[in-house]
Structure 1
Amino acid sequence: MSFHPVGEDDLVRARADEQWIRDEIFEREPAPDQPSGGVDKAWHGHLFGWSAELVADAAERLGSVTFDQLDAHYDPERMDAASIYPGFWARDPDDGRDYLEGNLVELKQIFAYAADRRSCLVQHLG
């Protein structure tokens, strides 16, 4: 999964023209100071378009979350039983923990980056 900062007009156009967003947004190289926005498949869920207001709210909330808070709820066996991607949780719990922590950092970075620029975000699963 990846997140891509866009302006309000681009978000409106993206919702109306899926091919345009594939060609113009998803293939665009990030700016040199922009986080990649890629969080692999560590997060289940799908929200296609995030308004600038939702991005700012999410960035603020994510900014206060520590990995230790999330790690307190980490349960590799339950995650495997629930078929949470990538499905190696119980087999290699330490790698799973590292995978989640690294992607939390990336998620927080892209939301903070977009919020600082008052950007919207489009979410791409694939």
Structure 2
Amino acid sequence: MGVSIGFISATTKELDRAEQDPGWANAFVYELYTSEDFPMPDRPYGGPEKAWAGLQFLIDAVEVQFDFLMDGGQIVDDGTLFGWSAEQVAGVARDLRATPWEQLAAHYVPEKMMSEGVYPNTWRFDAEGELAWLESAYDDLVGFFTAAAGAGYGAFMTFSF
């Protein structure tokens, strides 16, 4: 299965309720993802999935102020659900849109990523294919944050392992 991160947009009201009732939040997010209506056109979702650590490596190299595991507020004590305010989502959207993929890709060094144990630690097996995978994940991430920010949403971030 592996370690994966995903985002789904959330209203301020939903985030406020989640902070007060983490059990409700867990159930609510699960229902969003398993609903017959998923994906919902008015509720952006996406994520880097298993590419999160590779993207974090590249994002850190260009000094964008974005951290999958440190940003957002922890909702569930086990660290599997976080809330990102509408302001955070808008800021991340702005920063990611200002950072073209080519700027990140210039820091892709499979050997260094392998030596540092960057998850999923497969960078040397198909270096070009992994780079294309990271680019696709980055495009999805930028698309999610841009759409969520454009609609005034915050987000729930799921961290599964």
TM-score normalized by the length of structure 1: 0.89
Q: Which residue, out of 3, 8, 26, partners 1:4?
A: 8
2:2 aligned with 1:25, yes or no? no
AA aligned opposite 2:136: G
**Which residue number corresponds to residue 100 of structure 1?**
134
Aligned residues: 126
RMSD: 1.6
Superposed, 1:1-126 pairs within 5 Å as 1-28=5-32, 29-32=38-41, 34-44=43-53, 45-46=68-69, 47=72, 48-126=82-160
Whether the 8 Å contact between 2:44 and 2:148 is mirrored in structure 1 is no
Counterpart-to-counterpart distance in 1, 2:110 and 2:44:
28
* Structure 1 residue 30, shift from structure 2 partner: 2.8
Runs of 4+ that moved beyond 3 A: 33-36
Higher-strand-fraction structure: 2
* Structure 1 residue 71, shift from structure 2 partner: 0.7
Q: Determine what percentage of the aligned residue pairs are the same residue.
A: 35
Structure 1 unaligned regions, length at least 5? none
Q: Which moved more, 1:109-118 or 1:36-45?
A: 36-45
Q: Which has the higher contact order (CA 8 A, sep 6+)?
A: 1
Counterpart-to-counterpart distance in 2, 1:19 and 1:37:
23
